[in-house]
């Protein structure tokens, strides 16, 4: 690796992680890592147990290689989909961009360093999806040392092609939208276009897979690897490299996988040299329209309102107006309904299967399980948008402003919670509408689910802001680090997933009917929300007052 590129990458990485200098805060950060690691162990055990069962099932028909090809393909697609957010943030919304441009550094060095940073962070995604598959397949198949060497090489190069695609899409969009006057609005629109493009690619690739596999009924000898690999064509090389690790073809396939990744990176640098500078120059400059208003308009716009309402609106406006917050916090509420819609477009014949599912849902005793499942989904969605879990962190160096304004700490805290709850409700309504259309659930059942799920949304936001109060990430130089690189969001999600899993397990184990499920959820989460609210009311202000930049 070029020396300048290495130094620049290390400098940007240090800036990105921004570990606290104080000993007490360092210990708190380390403890947070430990808690996260321990909390993920039960989930990891469950995933590995599930994968072992899948391997056994595939092995009976000689298709165990499908586990590898599907793992690589799904990992690559997830990296591609969510990498759109992170790539756009890192390449264009980072404050260090304007500082790097005047320096005597080649554009290829800046692009390469930022690409490497995005790749390193996307290894976390690969760890969650592909790493367990590598381990399970290796253990169950008795893979030797060479298998794990090939697996390591494929794991390290897996994110390259998806991030290259992300980067090219983003650079092309930003090259032209940067000419617009209102750059913030266009950058936000660019993110939406990129997401739509990503969903389109997913739909087309899955349709292609289904068309290819429709006429093939013969199983055995890993014949389905080629079909499942069509979701992400390059994944076929990686899968065949691992399957055939014991002979020369395994080396050839693994080598080809690495070569394709390196060629993709080289193509990225070539296009970047032509597109990046023209798209990033002046990226932090925004225009404004000066407009004279009459005294009547001024009076109408200056209507007095409550402190709480004003502060909630302020929080929501910032979330919508800041591209990094809009992409990572607001759009997250609308992504999940898309995952319900995709199968309809990729599998037009799946409506018959959905019809059977609808019939099953309408049977006696099943509605309670549907209720619990939806409640758990809302608990997850309310924690995944990160609005409350990053609300204190987003203040950054401006936290001192919150201490001087004539608004009580309690009001500020609750306003941040309410902003998260509002967007959580919006996400709940959007997924409810899609569920009603696709699954034809009774409106009365959906209305009851929505009312009860409000408690889940409250719980997720209370948990998120309590975590952020205790461990705010205030030291950042661009908005994306306050939300994307914030472990508080991950911890909040883990806690909410754990509560959702325990709730579902208890409800199913007790075999409760719909009425009993509703009463139980309202009682348990109503009590939890009340306790968390009282905690914030009594101790939240004290914690807030001790926060320093």
Instruction: Indicate yes or no: pTM above 0.75.
Output: no
Q: Which of 234-243, 359-368, 451-460 has the lowest mean pLDDT?
A: 359-368
Q: Which of 17-21, 144-148, 260-264, 481-485 has the lowest mean pLDDT?
A: 17-21
The whole-number pLDDT of residue 524 equals 93
Arithmetic mean of pLDDT, 440-451: 83
Arithmetic mean of pLDDT, 356-362: 56
Highest mean predicted confidence (pLDDT) among 65-79, 96-110, 214-228: 65-79
Give me the long-range contacts of 124-131 (CB less than 8 A, separation at least 24).
125/75, 125/78, 125/79, 125/82, 125/159, 126/75, 126/79, 126/155, 126/158, 126/159, 129/71, 129/74, 129/75, 129/78, 130/71, 130/72, 130/75, 130/155, 130/158, 131/155
Q: Which of 51-55, 337-341, 418-422, 497-501 has the lowest mean pLDDT?
A: 337-341
Rounded-to-integer distance, Cα 74 and Cα 331, Å: 22
Query: Phi and psi for 209 in degrees, rounded to 5?
Result: -60, -45
Rounded-to-integer distance, Cα 79 and Cα 167, Å: 12
Q: Residue 422: CB partners within 8 Å, gap ≥ 6?
A: 312, 316
Q: Is the pLDDT of residue 414 over 70?
A: yes
Arithmetic mean of pLDDT, 293-312: 76
Q: Residue 178: CB partners within 8 Å, gap ≥ 6?
A: 186, 278, 279, 280, 281, 282, 283
Q: Is the pLDDT of residue 486 over 60?
A: yes
Q: Is the pLDDT of residue 298 over 60?
A: yes
Q: Is the pLDDT of residue 178 over 90?
A: no
Where would I find the beta strands (DSSP E) of 170-274? none
């Amino acid at each position: 690796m070029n020396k300048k590129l290495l130094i620049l990458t290390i400098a940007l990485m240090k800036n990105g992680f921004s570990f606290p200098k104080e000993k007490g805060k360092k210990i708190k950060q380390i403890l947070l890592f430990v808690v996260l690691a321990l909390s993920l162990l039960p989930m990891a055990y469950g995933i590995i147990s599930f994968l072992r069962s899948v391997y056994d099932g595939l092995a009976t028909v000689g298709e165990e290689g499908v586990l590898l090809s599907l793992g690589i393909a799904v990992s690559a697609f997830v990296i591609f989909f969510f990498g759109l957010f992170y790539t756009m943030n890192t390449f264009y919304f980072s404050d260090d961009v304007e500082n790097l441009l005047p320096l005597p550094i080649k554009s290829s060095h800046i692009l390469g360093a930022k690409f490497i940073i995005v790749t390193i962070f996307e290894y976390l995604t690969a760890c969650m999806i592909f790493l367990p598959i590598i381990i399970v397949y290796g253990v169950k198949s008795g893979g030797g040392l060479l298998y794990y060497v090939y697996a390591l090489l494929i794991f390290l190069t897996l994110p390259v092609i998806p991030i290259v695609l992300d980067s090219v899409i983003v650079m092309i969009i930003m090259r032209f939208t940067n000419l617009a006057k209102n750059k913030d609005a266009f950058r936000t629109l660019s993110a939406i276009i990129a997401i739509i493009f990503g969903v389109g690619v997913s739909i087309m690739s899955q349709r292609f897979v289904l068309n290819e596999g429709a006429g093939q009924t013969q199983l055995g000898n890993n014949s389905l690897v080629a079909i499942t690999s069509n979701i992400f064509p390059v994944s076929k090389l990686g899968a065949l490299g691992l399957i055939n690790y014991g002979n020369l073809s395994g080396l050839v396939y693994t080598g080809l996988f690495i070569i394709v990744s390196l060629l993709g990176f080289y193509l990225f640098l070539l296009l970047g040299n032509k597109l990046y500078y023209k798209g990033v120059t002046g990226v932090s400059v925004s225009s404004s329209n000066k407009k004279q208003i009459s005294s009547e308009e001024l009076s109408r716009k200056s209507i007095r309102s409550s402190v709480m309402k004003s502060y909630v609106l302020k929080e929501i406006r910032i979330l919508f107006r800041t591209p990094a917050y809009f992409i990572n916090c607001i759009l997250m509420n609308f992504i999940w309904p898309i995952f319900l819609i995709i199968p309809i477009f990729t599998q037009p014949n799946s409506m018959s299967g959905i019809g059977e599912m609808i019939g099953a849902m309408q049977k006696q005793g099943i509605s309670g399980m549907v209720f619990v499942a939806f409640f758990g989904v809302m608990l997850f969605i309310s924690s995944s948008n990160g609005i409350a879990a990053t609300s204190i962190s987003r203040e950054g160096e401006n936290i001192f402003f919150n201490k001087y304004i004539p608004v009580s700490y309690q009001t500020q805290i609750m306003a941040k919670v309410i902003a998260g709850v509002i967007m959580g409700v919006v996400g709940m309504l959007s997924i409810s509408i899609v569920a009603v259309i696709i699954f034809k659930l009774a409106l009365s059942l959906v209305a009851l689910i929505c009312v009860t799920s409000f408690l889940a949304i409250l719980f997720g936001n209370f948990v998120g802001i309590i975590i952020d109060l205790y461990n705010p990430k205030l030291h950042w130089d661009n908005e994306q680090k306050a939300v994307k690189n914030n472990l508080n969001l991950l911890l909040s999600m883990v806690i909410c997933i754990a509560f959702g899993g325990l709730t579902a397990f208890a409800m199913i184990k007790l075999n409760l009917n719909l009425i009993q499920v509703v009463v139980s959820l309202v009682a348990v989460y109503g009590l939890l929300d009340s306790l968390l609210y009282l905690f914030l009311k009594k101790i939240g202000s004290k914690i807030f007052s001790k926060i320093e930049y």
